[in-house]
Amino acid sequence: MIFNKLSRCSSSVAMGILSMLVMPVAQAEYKLNMTEGVTPISQDLYGLHMLVFWICVVIGVLVFAVMAWSIFHHRKSKGAVASNFHESTTIEIIWTVAPLLILIGIAIPATATLLDLEDAKTNADITLQVTGIQWKWKYTFVDEDVSFISSLAQSSRDVIKDPTSNENYLLEVDNELVLPVGKKIRFLFHSNDVIHAWFVPALAVKQDSIPGFINDSWAIIEKPGIYRGQCAELCGKDHGFMPIVVNAVSQPEYEEWLAGMKAEAAAAAAAGEEEWSMQDLVARGETVYQANCAACHGATGAGIPGAFPAMTGSAIVNGDPAGHIDIVVNGKTGTSMASFKGQLNDVDIAAVLTYERNSLGNSVGDMIQPSAIKNAR
């Protein structure tokens, strides 16, 4: 945290020295000061940070200058004798009033920014609901009927064994959150399971998502680009595997993306009406499984003994389809096996179930069609 706060102020000698002490190896990429960000709030926060920083520098310089001067001029070898007084009203007034004025000077702009920061509702153009889920994010455009899940991309999973092979190690998602520039976006945060936190430094948004509560925040993104973030609240085993990617684009591009998302949802609904082949279900099921289930049940279905049951050889997976459908659609209360009906569509659930029954070391030989999931909801 301290390194986020102090990053990128080349003009400051004090910070330069600090960096040399803390970072013995010269890093060309390493920036000292806090990043400025791309939203009005982030710039206000940066301004506040710099204001307080320079006030501290001035106080530091003044205090140490007086100290150094006094030590030198009133040294013992010159025969200096310490004055012997106490209860100086003048001094007490000075050292009460001076800090008070400084604090008021800081509090005025800080309060203005804080009030602005809290005002998510006024003139919001877009309302976006952000739901934390172990371990992924769900985004719902409240007025658009568009909703999707964003989880760690396979490309980022593949590099776990060799982090250097991808510069965005653990920071890539399968579905980016696309937002338009220049619009006021109101974020509403909540959670399905435990406390997560949605943190994107460039947007200056860091907000807890808590089950049963709704927190809000807002941003007007001023510059198109890709902005990355992560879950910032320790939320369990895969806390470090639920990154955030915001892709800020122009309004027409955003509308095009929205239309594409709606078309995709319509296509998925239509696909749910069809009969699927075993091959297609298993192929799709593998992707769904790796993105949604592997974190607990293991990439090969081995589970984690004592915590998460194995899929390989599981009585439920190899048993009656109804029981298998039930635990995945409705979850199991009191355990971390969540209900997937709000997270996956009929085709995805049918695919992952068929995959589990015919892969990961199981060979039941039957298929579960999307229509069966529809009936079970």
Partner touching 297 among ligand HEC, Cu ion, none, CB below 5 to 8 Å by kind: ligand HEC
Q: How far is CA 317 from CA 282, 330, 361, in A?
A: 14, 15, 11
For Cu ion, which stretch binds (CB under 5 A), given 40-48, 192-200, 320-328, 361-369?
192-200
Q: Which of 314, 345, 354, 369 binds ligand HEC (CB under 6 A)?
A: 314
Q: Which residue from 134, 348, 339, 165 is spatially nearest to 241, judged by alpha carbons? A: 134
Q: How far is CA 229 from the centre of its chain?
A: 5
For ligand HEC, which stretch binds (CB under 6 A), given 22-30, 102-110, 158-166, 334-342?
334-342
Q: How many residues bind ligand HEC (CB under 6 A)?
A: 22
Select 231 or 294, whichever has its Cβ closest to Cu ion: 231
Q: Are 116 and 41 in contact (CB under 8 A)?
A: yes
Q: Is 327 a binder of ligand HEC (CB under 6 A)?
A: yes
Partner touching 287 among ligand HEC, Cu ion, none, CB below 5 to 8 Å by kind: none
For ligand HEC, which stretch binds (CB under 6 A), given 11-19, 141-149, 152-160, 314-322?
314-322
**Residue 216 dihedral angles phi and psi, to the nearest 5°:** -135, 165
- Within 226-245, which residues bind Cu ion (CB under 5 A)? 231, 235
Partner touching 186 among ligand HEC, Cu ion, none, CB below 5 to 8 Å by kind: none
- Using CA atoms, how far apart are residues 31 and 10, in angstroms rounded to an integer? 8
Q: Is 335 a binder of ligand HEC (CB under 6 A)?
A: yes
Q: Is 133 a binder of Cu ion (CB under 5 A)?
A: no
**Residue 139 dihedral angles phi and psi, to the nearest 5°:** -115, 130
DSSP class of residue 35? P
- Using CA atoms, how far apart are residues 322 and 320, in angstroms rounded to an integer? 5
Select 141 or 355, whichever has its Cβ closest to ligand HEC: 355
Instruction: Print the binding letters for residues 253-292 with ligand HEC: x by CB under 6 A, - otherwise.
Output: ---------------------------------------x
Q: Is 324 a binder of ligand HEC (CB under 6 A)?
A: yes
Q: Is 196 a binder of Cu ion (CB under 5 A)?
A: yes
Helix 321-330, helix 346-358: angle, nearest 10: 130
For ligand HEC, which stretch binds (CB under 6 A), given 15-23, 89-97, 202-210, 325-333?
325-333
- Asked if residue 69 has a cis previous peptide bond (ω within 30° of 0), the answer is no
Partner touching 293 among ligand HEC, Cu ion, none, CB below 5 to 8 Å by kind: ligand HEC
Q: Are 235 and 132 in contact (CB under 8 A)?
A: yes
Give one DSSP letter per residue of 173-238, joined into a string: BSS-EEEETTSEEEEEEEESSS-EEEEEGGGTEEEEE-TT--EEEEEE--S-EEEEEEE-S--STT
The nearest distance, CB 156 to ligand HEC, in angstroms, is: 17
Residues at the interface with ligand HEC (CB under 6 A):
134, 292-293, 295-297, 308-309, 314-317, 324, 327-328, 332, 335-337, 340, 352, 356
